Amino acid sequence: MKHLKILTSVSTLVLTAAMATPAAAQYEDEIIVTATKRAESIQDVPVSVSAVNIETINALGVADFSELAIYLPNFEINNSTILPNLYVRGLGSGATHSIEQSVGRYVDEVYMGRGAMSIHGFFDVEAVEILRGPQGTLFGKNTVAGAMVVRTANPTDELEAGVNLTYGGYSTQG
């Protein structure tokens, strides 16, 4: 009976110590974002942000931003006949193409004024960040609803190539 109490006490202490290990210590990969114009951990950024890198994009099998929007919370792209409309948290400029958009689009820190300028394929994309809420302090105009920040990959000395194949018919795509 005495040994049972000691065994129970020791096993309880061991299990308690194992459960007290912080969850962050279990993950070695750290997500780095540039939401505040400098690279820092997504845990330290004081902005509501969703970020995906090219490995995640490839793993999801998406071919463009419209497909990626399905996996990003509070972000939507409506493709109209002329220009795509971006919405963050349900806010956007809608189909009014005569005014500036409410969601700012930046590719390598360059503002893209119209949707067609920024909605392109994932050629050399390194990461995509969606910043929710007004971003006028850091990004300036046209970020009332949020911002879509696209970072492209730096050039390398190696020859790289990729192929993206889609097919469709009868208004379906597969």
pLDDT value of position 24: 44
pLDDT attached to residue 1: 60
38-88 pLDDT, tens digit each: 788 877 888 888 899 989 988 998 888 888 899 999 998 887 666 778 889
Q: What is the pLDDT, as a whole number, of residue 157?
A: 92
Give me the residues of the chain with pLDDT under 50, please: 14-15, 17-27
Strand partners, 88: 75, 91
Note the pLDDT of residue 20.
47
Buried b (16+ CB within 10 A) or exposed e, 132-152: bbebeeebeebbbbbbbbbbe
Map out the domains of the chain with their CATH numbers.
31-156 (2.170.130.10)
Place of tokens 């193409």: 97
